[in-house]
Structure formats: structure tokens, C-alpha cells
Amino acid sequence: MNVHPFIEAEKCAGHSVKRACELLKVSRAAFYARRFDILSKRRRQDAELTERNSLVHAGSRGAYGAPRVHAALRQTGTLCGRRRVARLMRETGLTGRCRRPRVRTTVPDPRAAHRPDLLDRDFAPSTGLNTRWCGDITYIATAEGWLYLATVIDIASRKVVGWATADHLRTSLVTQALTTACQTRKPKPGLVFHSDRGCQYTSRELAAVAASKSVRLSVGRTGVCWDNALAESFFATLKRELVAADGPMWSSRAAARVAIFEYVEGWYNVRRLHSSLGYRSPTDYETALAA
């Protein structure tokens, strides 16, 4: 029987180690030798885990906090507790990136025709790929001026299935993103494309493009970011992980486009772990559905 935990408990409670050893018929020298071995082994394990934490954190461009670092380690067969990972990351100064304050960019058109909200805030992952998409516009600072980014995301898998950039906010920006998504995914008629009530998304031009592709348009309420929460969340993630990693702005719009391409196509869609997908990437999630 291993009596060392009982002696350790007595020691932590402030009782005499000598007396506990005498009662359990264990020498104090053996107890302290065993205790030293356990602590040394723990320190070695902590050092190894700290190194693995650093590798995973660096591989995520410094974006992952303890939950995703822990999930990534578990996927590679490293057995460890989430709290232990968090403790070691704190001790070594490794942190994930926090969200920046949100800036409102939606400009509604008071003359736009009424469109329904077909989602009602249901952004849960599902097996229904290419049945519900959402989109939005954000802006990225460059030395040449703003670069505007429009995205289309498959709600079922969180995958960015279409995106476009431009130096303007005209409706052609969002129609290009939607057209690209339709060409890439080839959805069946009846797909729902959800957005906010920005003038680009309530325009006749987008309605015509959507009708030509048998896409049903859906919009949330004005000024209520939760009605398009998934699209808002993606932009918060992009700005937290990409913009913070490469600095406040790029030297040109072309450089920013390259950085966005590498982030979306080389990291976010294929490698980044999503907690809502069971800590899988969108591509891995879709592959699992197809299996």
C-alpha cells in the first residue's frame, strides 16, 4: 500500500510528519526521498508540457488561449488537464487574443423593401451544408486607405465559402462574394443567405443576383448585432488574430489581400480549431460529414 499520500495529507494539514511516519511504519528519509522524486517528475513533465504549449501557441499565430491549446494537445495524443495547461501558459506569459471593441459599419437604407429574418438567430452548426449562409462587410486599414472585405460563411460548418475585397463599399462587393460562393459550392435552390440591413444587402442589385441563383435573402434588425452574430464573430476573430499579428495596417491593399487569403484559405478554413465544432476545423468538420 502506498502510504505517502496519507503522510503528505497530514503534512499539509500541519500535523507532524515524524509522528505520521511512525504510525505508518515508514522512515522519514524514505518519505522525503519519494516526495522529491514525485516533485522532480512533475517539474520535468511541466517543462515538457510548457514546450508543447509554446509550439501550439506559436503555430496558431499567437491566437489560441488555453482551451484551444488544450484541445490541440489532446488531438495529438498529449494527455493533460485544461487547468494545468492554463496554469503553465500563465507562468510563461502565453495568452490568447481578446476581442477589440466593435465599430458599427452598417448603413441602412430607409427606402429598402422589407425582407424577413429567416434564421431568427439560429446559428448552430448542423449537417445541412449549403442550406444557410450568412455574410457581412468589414474594413482593414492599409497605408493606401481602407480595404473593404465581404464574406459568405456556411453556418453549418463555419467555413468561409466566398469572399471579396475592394476599395469601395458599393453593392458589387457583396454580389462578387456571393457569386464566388455559389460558383465554389454549387448550392441547391432555396439556400438562405442572411445578412444585416446594410444598404448593399437590401439593394435591388443583390436581389437580382440572388434571384438568378435561386437564393432566398434574409436580414436581421437594424443595429442588432446578435441577429447576424456568426458573421460578426468571424470578423472579430479575423481582426483579433490577423490584424493584431501583423500590425495595425499593411503598406498596400494588395499586401492586405494576400494576408487575408493566407489567413482564410491557409489557416481559418483548414486548420483553426472551432469550439462550436468540437474543436475541429471547418474542413475537418465537413470531411467528417461526408464520410
Domain range 132-278, CATH class = alpha beta
Would you tell me the crossing angle of helices 28-59 and 4-12 to the nearest 10 degrees? Answer: 80
Query: Domain-by-domain residue ranges, the chain?
Result: 4-92, 132-278
pLDDT of amino acid 69: 82
Which residues touch 82 (CB under 8 Å, ≥6 apart)?
66, 67, 70
pLDDT of amino acid 55: 82
pLDDT of amino acid 51: 80
Tens of pLDDT, residue by residue, the chain (291 residues): 555 565 566 555 566 666 667 665 666 676 666 666 656 667 777 777 778 878 887 777 677 888 888 888 888 788 788 888 888 888 878 777 655 544 444 455 455 567 899 999 999 999 999 999 999 999 998 888 899 999 999 999 999 999 999 999 999 999 999 999 999 999 999 999 999 988 899 999 999 999 999 999 999 887 677 889 999 999 999 988 887 655 557 889 999 999 999 999 999 999 999 999 999 999 999 999 988
pLDDT of amino acid 11: 58
Backbone angles phi, psi at 245, to 5 degrees: -75, -40
pTM over 0.75: no
Answer whether 109's CB lies under 8 Å from 203's CB: yes
Answer whether 235's CB lies under 8 Å from 243's CB: no
Which residues touch 157 (CB under 8 Å, ≥6 apart)?
125, 129, 277, 282, 285, 286, 289
Is 102 exposed, middle or buried (CB count within 10 Å of its CB: 0-12, 13-18, 19+)? Answer: exposed
The cell for 207 is 436581389
Answer whether 198's CB lies under 8 Å from 217's CB: no
pLDDT of amino acid 4: 56
What is the identity of the amino acid at 186?
Answer: K
